[in-house]
Amino acid sequence: MILYGSGGQAKVIYDLILSNNHLLEYLVDDRPNGNFPHHLPVYAPAEELIRNKKVIIAVGDNTTREKIYHRIKDWCDFETLQHSSAYVSRFSTVGEGTVIMPQVCINAEVTIGRHCIINTACTVEHECVIEDFVHISPKASLAGNIMVKKGAHIGIGACIIQGVTIGENAMIGAGAVVLRDVPPHAVVVGNPGKIIKMREEHGTI
């Protein structure tokens, strides 16, 4: 297996790989700086380093992760990872390239898309639909029947009540309490959650 990315997200995924008794061969990074610990090599990306490998895109930012995916998708296969302490209902599905971190709880009939990060100790309740390239940050709590559209980011510790739709590329701030649907590209903070600005179509903030 190889990781694309060598920053903080790669460090936690490497730890997950080891705890699953898998082998990480090396990492690639658009800006390799040689600072990855554990003496693992980090190379600049090249097709021959990725071709026919099992890859995880270890990048926290959704837009960057999606861009990398489109660049390399025809060369490689993608791994899906789940920490042994995570609970994923047998009635739920998880797409390729997605990483499920420690202590996550995914309850019944949840659909999780491709290349998502379901981060430490978050809860995703029954019948939620999480589209591709979503990041759900640590300790976020999603009640039942929530739809999270492509590329949205749910901030650390955010709470979302049942039945809400979070629009494409929306950003839910740390600790926000979301009671209403959130339009695409909106940035929402506070309790109750309010829109403070709009994100660029394909940018970060």
Catalytically active residues are: 126
- Phi, psi torsion values for 174, nearest 5 degrees: -55, 130
Q: Which is nearer to ligand ACO, 94 or 136 (CB)?
A: 136
Q: Which is nearer to ligand ACO, 5 or 173 (CB)?
A: 173
Residue whose C-beta lies closest to ligand ACO: 173
2, two tokens: 């190889």
Task: Count CB-CB contacts under 10 A for residue 76.
Answer: 17
The answer to whether residue 192 forms part of the interface with ligand ACO (CB under 6 A) is: no
One character per residue 71-110, x = contact with ligand ACO (rule: CB under 6 A): ----------------------------------------
Least distance between ligand ACO and beta carbon 162 (Å): 21
CA distances from 149 to 10, 136, 170, 171 (A): 24, 12, 8, 11
Q: Which is nearer to ligand ACO, 62 or 119 (CB)?
A: 119
The answer to whether residue 174 forms part of the interface with ligand ACO (CB under 6 A) is: yes
Site size for ligand ACO (CB under 6 A): 15
Indicate if the alpha-carbon torsion angle 165, 96, 175, 67 is positive or negative.
Answer: negative
Q: Which of 148, 150, 167, 157 is nearest to 189 (CA)?
A: 157
The answer to whether residue 137 forms part of the interface with ligand ACO (CB under 6 A) is: yes
Q: Which of 121, 122, 124, 170 is nearest to 143 (CA)?
A: 124
Helix (H, G, I), strand (E, B) or coil at 194: strand
User: Using the rule CB under 6 A, which residue among 56, 68, 106, 171 binds ligand ACO?
Assistant: 171
CA distance 30 to 52: 19
The H or E element that residue 177 is part of is strand 177-178
User: Using the rule CB under 6 A, which residue among 16, 49, 160, 187 binds ligand ACO?
Assistant: 187
Can you list the alpha helix ranges (DSSP code H) found in the chain?
8-19, 47-50, 62-72
User: Using the rule CB under 6 A, which residue among 44, 190, 201, 202 binds ligand ACO?
Assistant: 190
One character per residue 4-43, x = contact with ligand ACO (rule: CB under 6 A): ----------------------------------------
Q: Which residues bind ligand ACO (CB under 6 A)?
A: 60, 119, 137-138, 155-156, 171, 173-175, 187, 189-190, 196, 205
